[in-house]
């Protein structure tokens, strides 16, 4: 009999500013570095928060990963004057801004942080991800920027 899916799920809350893993730039002598200065801190946040929250062994088989990214809202989403701090009625819930990063690049950086191959502790390698569900939302008053990651063994 197969065990309950909730018993197999690994839940990790990462606090920090999600960063897209984008292009690399050449700095000389064959050395390449990430073009974005945000990549290293985000990947480090993913590694540290997963190490603090996950105590199991590294998963070496296929996994399903679900990620919700919470990105900061621009000031233009908020009302001013008497209602300062309240969201405008037409403020969107999901980010389509290129400033927050393409969702596929956010995923690349996050999965690397989970991968033992890159210093993480949850999955052996991001190639083990066989199913993926992602969302990029603006943060609400009850949430902080970061990501909620759920990993299930397949």
Q: Which of 23, 21, 12, 46 is nearest to 103 (CA)?
A: 21
How far from 62 is each of 49, 51, 109, CA to CA, in Å? 22, 20, 19
Residues 52-66 have a mean pLDDT of 96
Give residue-wise pLDDT tens across range 67-112. 999 999 999 999 999 999 899 999 999 999 888 889 999 999 999 9
- How many residues does this entry show for the chain? 154
pLDDT at residue number 110: 97
- Backbone region of residue 65 per phi and psi (left: phi > 0; alpha: psi in -120 to 50; beta: other values): beta
How far from 96 is each of 78, 140, 145, CA to CA, in Å? 17, 16, 16
Q: Sketch out the chain's domains with CATH numbers.
A: 5-153 (3.30.1330.70)
Give residue-wise pLDDT tens across range 123-141. 999 999 999 999 999 998 7
Give residue-wise pLDDT tens across range 25-39. 666 777 656 657 888
How far from 110 is each of 77, 88, 100, 134, CA to CA, in Å? 27, 31, 14, 11
């Amino acid at each position: 009999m197969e065990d309950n899916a909730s018993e197999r799920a690994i839940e990790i809350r990462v606090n920090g500013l999600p960063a897209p893993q984008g292009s690399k730039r050449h700095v000389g002598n064959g050395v390449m570095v990430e073009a974005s200065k945000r990549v290293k801190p985000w990947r480090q946040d993913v590694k540290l928060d997963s190490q603090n929250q996950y105590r199991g062994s590294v998963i070496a088989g296929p996994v399903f990963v679900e990620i919700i990214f919470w990105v900061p809202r621009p000031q233009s989403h908020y009302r001013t004057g008497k209602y300062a701090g309240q969201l405008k009625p037409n403020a969107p819930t999901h980010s389509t801004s290129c400033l927050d990063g393409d969702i596929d690049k956010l995923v690349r950086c996050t999965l690397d942080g989970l991968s033992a191959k890159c210093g993480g502790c949850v999955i052996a390698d991001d190639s083990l991800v066989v199913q993926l569900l992602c969302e990029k939302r603006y943060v609400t008053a009850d949430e902080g920027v970061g990501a909620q990651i759920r990993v299930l063994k397949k």
